[in-house]
Structure 1
Amino acid sequence: MMQKLVNVAIIVLISGLVGCSASRQSFDPQHKYTKNQLQQDYRVFRGILEESHPSLYWFTPKDSMDHFFDAGFQSITDSMTEQQFRNVLSFVVSKIHCGHTAVKYSKQFGRYLDTAKIKMFPLSFKVWSDSMAIIANINRKDSILKYGTLVTAIDGYSTRQLTDTFLNYISGDGNSLNGKYQSLSNSGAFGSLYRNIMGMKDQIAVTYVDSTGAEQTVSVPVFDPSAKDTTKRVPGNRIATKPPKDGTRHYSFSARMVQIDTSLSSAYMTLHTFSRGNKLRSFFRQAFREMKKRNIQHLVVDVRTNGGGDAGISTLLTRYLVDKKFKLADSLYAVRKSSKYHKYIAWQPFYWSLMQFVTHKQKEDGHYHFGYFERHYFHPKKHNHFNGDIYLVTGGNSFSATTLFVKALQGQHNVKVIGEETGGGAYGNTAWMIPDVTLPNTKVRFRLPKFRLVMDKDLVKEGRGIIPDIQVSPTQETIRRGIDPKAAVIRRMIMHKIGIAQQ
């Protein structure tokens, strides 16, 4: 009897695996959903945002947001593929001006993209409003479109036409355009949008500026991973594990690194994330202990690639550097605990239960306030606190918890913010609890931030990112020459200060 049960279990398991495999193999990315299915999904999409998003009308007035919602619905005139429907939703979501609200593929479509050999746009760019410089080319044997080459048009579309189009499909905080341009500059982002919005051909016409300053146009093939790949992988840069001879020392991991230069009494700390799982707490403890031991007087904290993570971890770093007590928020609240759309919202019972303990409803506005963060002041750390000169390096990818970190320190007497405007809002953001919503028919997902955080109510109207004290941006020339202009400016500042002190 036991053996029969085992045999039955094996058959069921094999059938499940076969069925799962067949399901993956039979997935059709060009499958079209009916107009009625799409409209049903769209109503759920709009209903949830109008019901539960705390910042839906923060930067876009309700009448304008209603117009965009209506326009999205009216664009569903026939059946659509998932990608086409996702474009509709992304266009509408971008009008909320919330970088934490974004549309995602269905899980099945995501698995398909992970394994499918899809033709790829061959170039990546550093994107500005009206020009682009090449920063990567999959066609490694291309002798024309080299690193740093200025591109002015693709397939006859000018850079301005392309960026003006693509910005309508990118989520971003408030009115920080630099964050959106940086999103276009991130690896693969421009090419993905070009494929999804403009359509991918086998050849693309690239208009570029040659060495004489004249515009030329060349036709280049898209990258086909299903074809025989004769390119060789370029080995990644390896981080030194032994102290170099110049007096610097490296303590490095994939998410964070600190380099100490005793000759300049300086340390360069790079943080790519504040997310958990990267042993950042122990990293900070060890790094600041070492800096104290070596009497380091200049600290660079590079967060230009840091998209955020755990606010508790970013706050810990702030405490090592700040010279006075500080709060994270003037206000932090959600508009509701429960939802009539709860079956579509991941972990809704969990979030409801958690909010029962951490929030209270205020009579004045009817919102559910996270009172602890509205009242609590954090104090500077006493042990191994850094009191020297601090240089914070920011960019368009500096987002979420990273802006909390930078905002708490900007204006302090020994702190300079250097680089570009952050992608994250200087006024605050909408985040904290961010469940996924899955639409019933297409299974397309979108992120639904539950809390609005206001760091500085006086900056909300402007809606910009954190503006650096010293603006330093890459140019075509610095890209072509492989120069990091932000690091170069900071090094000159440190050397100048040391030179003054030695006189």
Structure 2
Amino acid sequence: MRRIGLGGVFSCLILLTLCCAGCGTLRPAFSPEQKYPVEALERDYTLFRNILNESHPSVSWHTPADSMEYYFNWGKSQLKDSMTEPQFRAVLTYVIAKIRCGHTSTRYSRQYLKWLDTARLPLFPISIKILDDTVLLNNTLQRSNIKLPRGTILTEFDGQPFLQVVDSLQQHLSIDGYNKSYLDQTISNRGAFGGWLRLVQGWKKEYSMGYIDSLGQQQYTSIRLVDPPKKDTTKKHVLPAIKEKLKKRERREERLYYARSMQIDTGLSTGYMTVNTFNGRNKFKPFFKESFRELNRRNIRHLVVDIRSNGGGNVNHSNFLTRMLINKPFRVGDSLYAINKRSKYGNHIRYNAITGIFMSVITRKRADGKYHFGYFERHVFKPRKKDHYNGNVYVLTGPNSFSAAALFAGQLKGQSNVKLIGEETGGGAYGNTAWFIPDVTLPETGIRFRLPRFRLVINKDAVNSGGGVMPDILVKPTRETILQNRDPKVERVRQMILQSSLSKALQYK
């Protein structure tokens, strides 16, 4: 037998490497227009349906089981022909929205998101604001062809009543229960209307739009998609390492400031604390401790806590803030449970390999067959003694106050020195389904959806209306405040603080 020398071995290895590289280049590049065959879509859809029914604890909490079966069957009936990823995701979002759980939603595949990051897509030119049964123009892109002022009443979109178009898109939005204010705010958030229109219906280059002019007359105009800004081709100089470190530090400080901030107005004896999230890595405990220490040191009589943009996060952070303000012990909820430890579809669920161990440590199976998170069911949190704040507290709430932010508002509601001012929270007052939320990846399309594992019931004796935490004082934006760019909630709080200060001053006369 002929022996191959060392040089021959290297030659073979090089040839093999080149072949592999050549094979790699023959792989088709990802195309957003790729259509998946019906068989692949059905496999993904069956998995989607089975995992939700097996592991989601609230599939039939707000929607009866027979109704959910109807929606699951409806989704399957849509798979009659091949679909692109956005088309299939639109079907999934419609079905998953019927669960009425704001923590259960879909996401594009990683490949599709990677493509979106580099794609130079046109921009939708307007954002809207829903006020009761009226659609207002909220913002327009500077480079758009639209010359209408902010606050213009919009009546029609692409030949249909504007509210009808909005309602068709809202059918795809995930909410807690039956919270209409959250639905209206979600579609009103910047860019949301155009984004959901693109997913559900696809974009056209131009749309007709009806509106009411300054004389109260019906008028029509057209709106066009806006080309993306041109790429900046100028050469960028590489910053020295020390400048890059400073830049990182500035970004970190900016992130922390956005997450939570505090200003004190000594003239009004008022602190204004903004808490936009309860997510981790934002140094909440040191911030809260320092803030309340300073409020008490200066003898500040009023505190405004703004959670209008707080979508939730870690309940330990919201609990800590609650303890700084509440005047009685509290529990997070009456029950907190999952319906299984581990899924049999674990290959598609993130963290499933460790979920069983995690569940065995923190939960116990009870007589009802559920796996209860006993710590939060039993543990009584007490008001924090050190630097506890006892002044007047005004909590600003709105439809974007969700999850842990809604828990915070609900715990303080009814306390004598606390007033909730604003609008109904987006997070449910009765409870939610969240806590541990792994992603599920569908193998054929790569589309992902969030799978919350625990159901929380805050107060089992309360009525589950499917709504959020209601404010003590309802303050909503109006067309007038939008036109004048005013914040009516802050104005109302300021008025209350001035009246309180005046009353106190009169007492000493």
Q: Normalising by the residue count of structure 2, what TM-score does the alignment of the two structures yield?
A: 0.89
The counterpart of 2:33, out of the listed 30, 33, 36, is 30
Residues 2-401 of structure 1: matches in 2 within 5 Å?
A: 26-140=29-143, 142=145, 144-225=147-228, 253-363=257-367, 365-401=368-404
> Could you say what secondary structure the match of 1:132 adopts?
strand
CA distance in 2, matches of 1:348, 1:17: 36
CA distance in 2, matches of 1:391, 1:139: 37
Amino acid in the other structure paired with 1:360: R
CA distance in 2, matches of 1:142, 1:389: 48
User: Which runs of structure 1 show a deviation greater than 6 angstroms over 4 or more consecutive aligned residues?
Assistant: 11-18, 226-229
Superposed CA RMSD: 2.5
Tell me the matched-pair count.
Answer: 476
Question: Shift of the alpha carbon at 1:139?
Answer: 3.4
Could you tell me whether the CA contact under 8 Å between 1:403 and 1:424 is conserved in 2?
Answer: yes
C-alpha distance 16-151 of structure 1, shift in aligned 2 (>3 A) = farther
CA distance in 2, matches of 1:371, 1:379: 18
> Could you say what secondary structure the match of 1:32 adopts?
coil
1:432 aligns with 2:435: yes
CA distance in 1, matches of 2:335, 2:192: 34
CA distance in 2, matches of 1:183, 1:481: 22
CA distance in 1, matches of 2:429, 2:120: 41
CA distance in 2, matches of 1:435, 1:132: 36
CA distance in 2, matches of 1:424, 1:62: 23
Could you tell me whether the CA contact under 8 Å between 2:140 and 2:146 is conserved in 1?
Answer: no
CA distance in 2, matches of 1:409, 1:416: 8
Could you tell me whether the CA contact under 8 Å between 2:145 and 2:224 is conserved in 1?
Answer: no
Question: Shift of the alpha carbon at 1:253?
Answer: 0.9
Could you tell me whether the CA contact under 8 Å between 2:146 and 2:223 is conserved in 1?
Answer: no
Question: Shift of the alpha carbon at 1:286?
Answer: 1.1
Gaps of 5+ in 2: 1-5, 233-254
The counterpart of 2:482, out of the listed 466, 479, 484, is 479
CA distance in 1, matches of 2:355, 2:156: 47
Could you tell me whether the CA contact under 8 Å between 2:135 and 2:163 is conserved in 1?
Answer: no
> Could you say what secondary structure the match of 2:287 adopts?
helix
CA distance in 2, matches of 1:100, 1:18: 42
Question: Shift of the alpha carbon at 1:141?
Answer: 6.4
Question: Shift of the alpha carbon at 1:18?
Answer: 11
Could you tell me whether the CA contact under 8 Å between 2:143 and 2:226 is conserved in 1?
Answer: no
Amino acid in the other structure paired with 1:265: S
C-alpha distance 474-115 of structure 1, shift in aligned 2 (>3 A) = same
CA distance in 2, matches of 1:12, 1:403: 57
Could you tell me whether the CA contact under 8 Å between 1:359 and 1:370 is conserved in 2?
Answer: yes
Per the alignment, residue 250 of structure 2 pairs with none
C-alpha distance 350-228 of structure 1, shift in aligned 2 (>3 A) = closer
Amino acid in the other structure paired with 2:269: S
Question: Shift of the alpha carbon at 1:140?
Answer: 4.4
What are the superposed Cα offsets for residues 441-474 of structure 1, whole Å, 9 maximum, x if unpaired? 0111000000001112244531111111111111
C-alpha distance 283-357 of structure 1, shift in aligned 2 (>3 A) = same
Q: Larger Rg: 1 or 2?
A: 2
Per the alignment, residue 236 of structure 1 pairs with none
